[in-house]
Amino acid sequence: MSALDELYQQVIIEHNRKPRNFRVIENATYAAEGFNPICGDHFHIYIVVGDDGCIEDVAFDGKGCAISKASASMMTQALIGKSETEARQLLAEFNSLAKGDLDPDKDDNALGKLTVFSGIWKFPARVKCAVLAWHAATSALDEVDIVSTE
């Protein structure tokens, strides 16, 4: 696979073209924004946690490049149905993957389809694009007081 094909795999192109869960959730349990002042990428992340403590719904909206948008889109799919603990674990795993610290073939992980980003560390300038939504989701989960809407 050429470096370019590795960066822009079909699934990334496809998620960029048709991002999943690309909408606003008005009464989200958690919400946060991710902003990259260098490139202007700007997303809002919304997370709804159900009574059973599992994530019921995740959505995002905003503007960004193909990498950041596809990554955000795939993240929303991956987080739905997870407990907060599982979600945090996945967020950490994706971060490690993007930095090249986690080898999906050798290290235990629950990344599944997200391993499509396993080559992103070879493009240092684009790592921040891939992790933008994930950082926003992490800070959303961390800032319990701010956007909890009961």
Q: How many Å apart are CA 68 and CA 55, to the nearest integer? A: 22
Name which position in 23, 24, 27, 63 contacts other proteins (CB under 8 A).
Answer: 63
13 or 144: CB nearest other proteins: 13
Environment class of 58 (CB within 10 Å of its CB; exposed 0-12, middle 13-18, buried 19+) = buried
Residues 75-104 that bind other proteins (CB under 8 A): none
Name which position in 47, 64, 74, 78 contacts other proteins (CB under 8 A).
Answer: 64
49 or 69: CB nearest other proteins: 69
Environment class of 61 (CB within 10 Å of its CB; exposed 0-12, middle 13-18, buried 19+) = middle
44 or 141: CB nearest other proteins: 44
Q: Are strands 55-63 and 30-36 parallel, antiparallel or unpaired?
A: unpaired
Q: Residues 8-47 vs other proteins: string with x where CB under 8 A?
A: x----x--x---------------------xxxxx-----
Name which position in 98, 129, 130, 131 contacts other proteins (CB under 8 A).
Answer: 129
Name which position in 1, 2, 26, 150 contacts other proteins (CB under 8 A).
Answer: 2
Identify residue 105 by its one-letter amino acid code.
D
Q: How many Å apart are CA 115 and CA 12, to the nearest integer? A: 11
With left for phi above 0 and alpha for psi between -120 and 50, is residue 10 left, alpha or beta?
alpha
Q: At what angle do helices 84-99 and 124-142 cross, to 10 degrees?
A: 160
CB of 73 to other proteins, least distance (A): 14
Chain residues in the site for other proteins (CB under 8 A) = 2-4, 7-8, 13, 16, 38-42, 63-67, 123, 125-126, 129
